[in-house]
Structure 1
Amino acid sequence: MAFRSQAMPGVALITGAASGIGLATAVVFVEEGVTRLVLADINYDGLATASRQLQEINPKVETCLVKCDTSVEEEVENMVTEGVKKFGAIHYAVNNAGITSRIRIKTHLLQTEEWDKVQGVNLRGVWLCQRAELRQMMKQEAELSTRTGAPPERGAIVNISSLFAIITHPTVGAYSATKAGVLGMTRTDAVAYATDGIRINSVLPGFVKTPMVEESMRRGADYEPIINTIPIKRWGKPSEVAQAIVFLCSDRASMITGEALCVSGAKEFAA
């Protein structure tokens, strides 16, 4: 039987959940009423800290913490298995784990090893996660009622791409290719599963002040010239991206699937 609540029902799974956009997304889910979360990251200590933070927001929160390298098929399968073992289902999945290239150089100087590492997490990893999530969601009944009057849903998936999927820079070829691949995968499967009660969208963050960016700033990186090219003239916050992600998972977005939502302060129009 379908269930209805003003709070978001169901179970949320988030990769890259120990910090940055992933952690901010977990916080917004909890603020929206989600109390069962599967949190995955390669940083298990960070997950434990994140879990405590969420339980401070709502003591009813239950978490399933899974150390997971999303480029490894067996670890991704285990992530979903552990989540289902604890909570019985996966209703909202946010494939957020990603890396940047360690070296920003033009393609003719890029080593194959570096290319493989970036695509292993950013494209293969997202595909492995989405496949595992789809396999689980297809086993579930369509039990997520909507306040919009749309048919009940099995689940919703949001893949985190990047503004660099649609704009360019000479030294981020490997990264941009993986993030553009995420868009293609999202759109294809959004169509493929549209009548199965599963919606799939992507979010494209622009320049967001995450812990990774803050660390590079402490090392002397100067982002000011780039920020000045953003029409809104400031950094994005992880919480702002998280709001977009959770919206796309929610029943408020029941007619939205296959879309690429930029959260960039209009940077895509001023590249």
Structure 2
Amino acid sequence: MKVTVIGLGLIGGSIAIDLRKAGVATELIGVDLSTDNALKAVELGLVDKILTEDSALHQADIVILAIPVNALSQLLPSVLDAVRPNAVVIDAGSTKSLICRTIASHPKREQFVAAHPIAGTENSGPEAAFSGLFRNKTNIICEKDRSSDRALEIAMRVFNALGLRTIFMEAEEHDKHVAYVSHLSHVSSFLLGQTVLDIEKDEKNIFALAGSGFASTVRLAKSSPEMWAPIFEQNLEYLSQALLEYIMHLQRFHYHLMKRDIKELNRIMSGANEIRRVLDGIELKTKIQNETQSAEQSVGTIK
């Protein structure tokens, strides 16, 4: 299949690498607003060639949209206008409600699969792309019933080739959940980084004390503001709610700290330790699913 990837950064580039390796893509066509990114993507072998948007869309069997969500909601209607009647369009946006509303009444809506492969690093650009970025990660498809059976079948071929585990949600449900487990953590990291940078202006040795805990906590602060600011804007309602609840917990912790109430501080932190049980359970479930999938594939090969 001819695959057109619009947006040749970490996400788009990593998708291209693994679709080529899996044999899903017989030809990879790239589109990017940045000439430098486009040339680098060809140089790195992420795509075979760069075409104009119109040419790339008219040839594609599959279109992958891996661009910031503000550009995505603006571009998607014209992409659906341009693609062939049998082409499948898949997005990788971190918000879904606005994107889905934008093309709700489009005559080619059933050719679109609204997806969110939850994976990434703090790095960006074609050089950041690598094979295996999505392996064993969760992918969310929204408004499953609005996509045709054929579009879903082809989209699942793409997601399975990337090693993703796919689940289904409605768009509003998706946006609410990611506000807490993804978007809030990025806000926290950005602002913790800013707080420490402000202190560092007067305390020149502060970074000499920074250990692995600090580095891992602020890693996300190295993420692209150009990508994340539109995500925050599009998910404003749910992110605002998540922030208010987070601030409430910070204020409560600060109150007990100022009261020197060590017993209550210990209770709060012990309660937070419960996240370990949840994460360990998810890790175990994922391991079992992967082992089951591998066993099923082995049986299929033997047959």
TM-score, normalized by the shorter chain, greater than 0.5 = no
TM-score by length of 2: 0.27
Between the two structures, name the one with larger relative contact order (CA 8 Å, sep ≥ 6). 1
TM-score, normalised to structure 1, is 0.30
**Richer in helix (by share):** 2
